[in-house]
Amino acid sequence: MKGRILNNFKKYWYVIGILVIAFITTGFIVLNKEPDYLVLKNKAIKVELGTKFDNNLETYLDTTKLSSDIKKDVLKNAKISVDKKLKDSDYYSVGNYKVTISYKNQKEVVKYKVVDTTAPVITGVESIDIVQGIDLSAYDFASLFTVSDLAKVETEFDTSAIDSNVINSYTLKVIVKDESKNETVKEVAVNIVQAPSLDEEIVSETVTNADGSTSVKTVTKKKATVESNSNSNSSSNNISNSKSSSSNTSSNSTSNNNSSTARPNNSSSNTNTNTNKPDNGGSSNNSSSSSGNFESGSTSNGDYTDIWGGGTGNWHWDENGNLVID
């Protein structure tokens, strides 16, 4: 009986010894363990496309339980990195990323997600005047609108409700959709107006409405009078030149006729007084020669006066049209 009690007592001491050793070991570990320097505020962060990436450690870490000295050292020496590098901008495109924060032997990872929930913005005219009969598929609607979005977009101009052959007011739908399926629809008034007549022309003008919006107005005007005046001046100049030319021609003709003055002929024996001279070129069909007598005197020939010497004599035209005095 006494032996059994002694054996049980030894067992108890054995258990107590193990517990004491475990307690001491645990206490040693606890006392020598580094504190949690990196405590995350959130394990995951979601931001909108276009949000500038923030590399400030206090955005991700909760430092409220750290002493001022340790906090200062953590914020100074901790490193932050992302699994993908930024390209040509200060924000990440739509997708999932990993933000890693490390300090001494500790490391924490934050899930960083970029989403696009913002629809495209369309700016442009509120109404458009289009001439009747225009092919709408060839109309440059795109030049009248501006689309703003951080992602790639597709733009569609829905003209299915417009009949360009019938004068009336219709609605054009401008539909813009980005890569994240965000969509914006802008409705624009389209007025089909009458086509101009032959003496009119179409002028498109962008005007600002009272509410600050803009519209493309089609104005029908008479064709520019400049063209008419130009034609009138041209016609007047032609008539003036024609008159001047006609006057000069008439004057020259009269002068030439006056210069072809018949030579006096006192000979009673020669009745042929034809004084027409053939051209020196010898191509004249009037090749008959004339002859006769002459006396002293003078004859006015337009711009000059023919003077022939005194005395009498015979003369005739030779075959080359030259005057020969015998």
Residue 81's pLDDT band, with cuts at 50, 70 and 90, is very high
What does the DSSP 8-state code read for residue 199?
T
How far is 146 from 174, CA to CA, in rounded Å?
11
Q: pLDDT of 229-242, one tens digit each?
A: 445 555 444 444 44
User: Is the pLDDT at 127 greater than 80, yes or no?
Assistant: yes
Q: What is the pLDDT of residues 58-67, one digit of tens each?
A: 999 999 999 9
- Percent of the chain beyond pLDDT 70? 58
Q: For 123, which DSSP code? A: E
Q: Tokens for 118, please give them.
A: 């913002």
Helix H or strand E segment including 11: helix 2-32
What three-state secondary structure class fits 267?
coil
Q: Where are the beta strands (DSSP E) in 125-182?
A: 127-131, 145-148, 153-158, 169-178
Which is higher by pLDDT, 11 or 280? Answer: 11
**Cβ–Cβ < 8 Å for 289, 326:** no
* pTM of the predicted model as reported, rounded to 2 decimal places: 0.55
Note the pLDDT of residue 272: 40
Burial class (CB in 10 A: 0-12, 13-18, 19+), 53: middle
Instruction: Count the residues in the chain.
Output: 326
In tens, the pLDDT along 258-294 reads 443 334 443 333 334 444 444 444 434 443 444 455 4
